[in-house]
Structure 1
Amino acid sequence: MRVFDIDTIPDGAAPCVVQDFDGVRLIRLNEPRRRNALTLALRAALADILDKTLDRDDIRAIVLAGSGPVFCAGGDITSMTELDAVSGRPRLQRVHRLFRQLYEGPKPVIAAVEGKAVGAGLSLATACDLIIAGGDSHFGAPFNRVGVMPDLGLLFTLPARIGLGRTKLLALTGDLVDAKTAEAWGLAEVVTPAGDALNEALTLATRIASGAPLAHTMTKQMLARLPLSSETFLAAEADAQALLFSTADFSEGRDAFLAKREPSFSGR
């Protein structure tokens, strides 16, 4: 197997870093000190890079990875202190741009997951077409611990991968599953030894990039129609999550997270 020469990311680099290999674009989330949480800056940078990448005819496949030991630790709770039902809906609509670029976009996307892909990080991974997981990776959807439901399309993508029952198990418990379980459930297509996920993902992406790009685009578009329109789903998700942003449980979950204490939810 080819060993790809991955650039070292210098200190002070942009929130997303790009490197190209023979028709494959590697995009790395680059907020390692924040465990690649989806900060406003990171989300904007990723969306901008994806826009430009999806317009490039010479890029035929994309690999999405995290810098440092974590793929993505989820949403940026520190940016949610003023959220309510009014501000929550446009926030979700903006982040849905990432879902559409990855899930509905014309190019195959592979997530290379090392460490944790949790919360919105799991949403990001499952919006990709394929997931390659390192042996030490863990996956989870602990949105309920801050008083909200899974978003960024996760309740659309996850049941298609692992079924309704297991989706409910992850969403209602907030538990994490390891790479072996993820593979057995169909959450990850391939599990590699720890540290090898990125090289494996680039190898697979190179194979895919050698295929017919229009056929890949049409394949993605056809599959995106199943089982219902993602647009219908995302509109409903934005409405529901916006309501949750106005609840006392969200305020409690957010405040407890920031204070590093256990939350006490009231159901209000």
Structure 2
Amino acid sequence: MSETFQQVAERLTNIRAELDGAIAILTMNRPKALNALNDQTLEELDRIFTCLEREESILGVIITGEGKGFVAGADISQMQSYKSEEGRNYANRAQALFNKIEALEKPVIAAVNGYALGGGCELSMSCDIRIASEKAVFGQPEANLGVIPCFGGTQRLPRLVGTGIAKELIYTGRQVKAEEAKSIGLVNKVVPAESLLDEAKAMLRTILEKAPMAIRYSKVAINRGMDVDMRAGLELEKDLAAITFGTEDKQEGMDAFLGKRPAVFHNR
């Protein structure tokens, strides 16, 4: 029998997992290591997102960090001894996890409270939306260590900020503060540190007022459409639109609009 969210949450060590209504809040919780990603943390993230895929009552996710870090990279002490094949396997494992986060058919917001470096920046980019505290700092410093970003950074960063800026940040390892991150398109919004989680919850609650299936298929259309040409993307959009037109929530939404009343969606 599959574990529930609460059962998984009780067994986590490096992540604090809580529910606020239909919202799962995941707090990276290794503050002494600035929440750096080690094997155990990656495994815990994988377990909780596997659970989130199947729990229909949970409609959205927020990822944030405890202390001064969101996630300040991968655990260098763990990687130091890796040779080529071990490094490739490590990258494969992390990429598979971040792909799972990106593909979750529910909205995921990164509430970036502090340092989001290396794997932390890559984790934030696997989320749908990034809200940054004024104290947040982003960067891909892997070239300082003799390696390249390998948790998706060489692919997601240029898709967000353009190839020129992505190359600059990866080649120089330069760190970017919150306001600059917003100006280049890496984050959606910058807010005071003390209101970060409230702002993330408020945005997610606004999203969750909409039809869950419309949000789900919008996410699928955008994510898959980014990997194909425009014509194929438009065909995908039509097919997914057809699915939403056949839902009870579509009928409810349009009936409510014409009846000038709030819609009550049931995710079906």
Distance 1:140 1:223, change over 3 A: same
Distance 2:207 2:112 in 1: 19
**1:7-41 C-alpha deviation (Å, 9 max, x unpaired):** xxxxx972111111121110111111100000111
Distance 2:171 2:212 in 1: 39
- For structure 2, the 5+ residue unaligned runs are 1-10, 229-268
SS at match of 1:206: helix
Distance 1:51 1:69 in 2: 28
Q: Does the 8 Å CA contact 1:24/1:209 hold for their aligned counterparts? A: no
Q: CA RMSD in A?
A: 1.6
- Match for residue 34 of structure 1? 33
Distance 2:188 2:159 in 1: 13
**1:195-228 C-alpha deviation (Å, 9 max, x unpaired):** 3222211111122122222222211212112432
With the length of structure 2 as denominator, give the TM-score of the two structures.
Answer: 0.78
- Match for residue 69 of structure 2? 70
Matches within 5 A, 1:135-146: 135-146=134-145
- Match for residue 251 of structure 1? none
Distance 1:63 1:211 in 2: 17
Distance 1:226 1:149 in 2: 26
- Match for residue 25 of structure 1? 24
- Match for residue 212 of structure 1? 211
SS at match of 2:72: coil
Matches within 5 A, 1:110-259: 110-228=109-227
- Match for residue 103 of structure 1? 102
SS at match of 2:202: helix
- For structure 1, the 5+ residue unaligned runs are 1-11, 230-268
SS at match of 1:136: coil
Distance 1:157 1:144 in 2: 17
Distance 2:20 2:37 in 1: 25
Between 218-227 and 109-118, the greater mean CA deviation after superposition: 218-227
Q: Does the 8 Å CA contact 2:133/2:191 hold for their aligned counterparts? A: yes
Between 111-120 and 87-96, the greater mean CA deviation after superposition: 87-96
Distance 1:123 1:164 in 2: 16
Q: Which structure is larger by alpha-carbon Rg, 1 or 2?
A: 2
Distance 1:181 1:225 in 2: 28
Q: C-alpha displacement at 1:118, in angstroms?
A: 0.6
Distance 2:95 2:179 in 1: 30
- Aligned pair count? 218
SS at match of 1:149: coil
With the length of structure 1 as denominator, give the TM-score of the two structures.
Answer: 0.78
SS at match of 1:139: strand
Q: C-alpha displacement at 1:151, in angstroms?
A: 1.8
Q: Does the 8 Å CA contact 1:31/1:42 hold for their aligned counterparts? A: no
- Match for residue 249 of structure 2? none
SS at match of 1:157: helix
Distance 1:216 1:151 in 2: 29
SS at match of 2:106: coil
**1:102-152 C-alpha deviation (Å, 9 max, x unpaired):** 111211100001111011100000110000000111111101010111121
SS at match of 2:62: strand
Q: C-alpha displacement at 1:99, in angstroms?
A: 1.1
**1:55-110 C-alpha deviation (Å, 9 max, x unpaired):** 11111110000111210100001111331122222222211222112111211100
Matches within 5 A, 1:42-57: 42-57=41-56
Distance 1:81 1:153 in 2: 20
Q: Does the 8 Å CA contact 1:47/1:97 hold for their aligned counterparts? A: no
SS at match of 2:18: strand
SS at match of 2:194: coil
Between 204-213 and 34-43, the greater mean CA deviation after superposition: 204-213
